[in-house]
Amino acid sequence: MSGGAVDACGNCGAPLELTEDGRCHWCRVKQRATHPRVHRSDDDWPRIRLKWSWRVGAIAAVAIGLAAGLGVGIASYVDSHQPGPPTATGTSSPGVIESVPPGSTDLQALRQDFGPWRQLIGASTGSQALLLLESGSVYASQRWTVPANATWWAQDLGGNVTSVQRTDGRAAITDADGVGYTVGINQAFIISSNPDTVLLISPGGTIMSMSLAQATAVRHPLRE
């Protein structure tokens, strides 16, 4: 006998209990259930719960993503409208030392490396001491000479000396600034406006030159 039933038998009115062939247990009349009970297998509930769990999880994930994106957007907007630190300017700090002209630095190094010096009054010295020509004055090194027969002498093309007049073993020259000096023939000299070049007037009046580095390599100590 089946456990499923409608409320009452339509023929005898008794509580309806159906036999296996669908007849009323009491009157044996075959009946059709007018209000069947719907039985749901318990196995369907986990399936429904899994479907709802998946949907709820997906909705929650989307909501979290939207919230995170909205938070980042709000933070970016707020940061862009908040006053930040002032823009750095190009003013120099008090501890920065202004650069000095390269010529001045090289001239100072020259004075130290080839010094001490003594100022000449009138005509240049008869010795072959290296001369320093500066602002109309002539200074002679008391330690060094650059020999006229050194290998690296070559004709000067730099325009350091604009004119040469030879007289009695001496040469009256004019530098690029128009300042005049008197130097000895074959006597090395340096003009302070270009301390990286050592110059010399040859016996034929040709202006010769070499670099200060070369002159330092070939210089000789002055003989007493």
Give the burial class of 210: count Cβ atoms within 10 A of its Cβ; 0-12 exposed, 13-18 middle, 19 or more buried.
Answer: buried
Based on the fold, state whether residues 14 and 109 are members of the same structural domain.
Answer: no
Q: How do beta strands 197-201 and 154-155 pair? A: unpaired
Based on the fold, state whether residues 14 and 112 are members of the same structural domain.
Answer: no
- Per-residue confidence in pLDDT tens, the chain, 224 aa: 444 444 678 788 778 788 888 888 778 887 665 444 444 555 554 554 545 465 656 677 777 777 666 665 555 554 555 544 333 333 333 333 333 344 457 899 999 999 999 999 875 556 789 999 999 999 999 999 999 999 999 999 999 999 999 988 899 999 999 999 999 999 999 999 999 999 999 999 999 999 999 999 999 998 85
Based on the fold, state whether residues 108 and 204 are members of the same structural domain.
Answer: yes
Does residue 118 sit within a domain? Answer: yes
Q: Give the range of the structural domain holding residue 136, as residue numbers without chain letter.
A: 102-221
Q: Which two tokens stand for residue 70?
A: 């909205």
Does residue 13 sit within a domain? Answer: yes
Cα-trace Rg, the chain: 57
Nearest to residue 133, comparing CAs of 181, 75, 70?
181
Based on the fold, state whether residues 113 and 187 are members of the same structural domain.
Answer: yes
pTM passes above 0.95: no
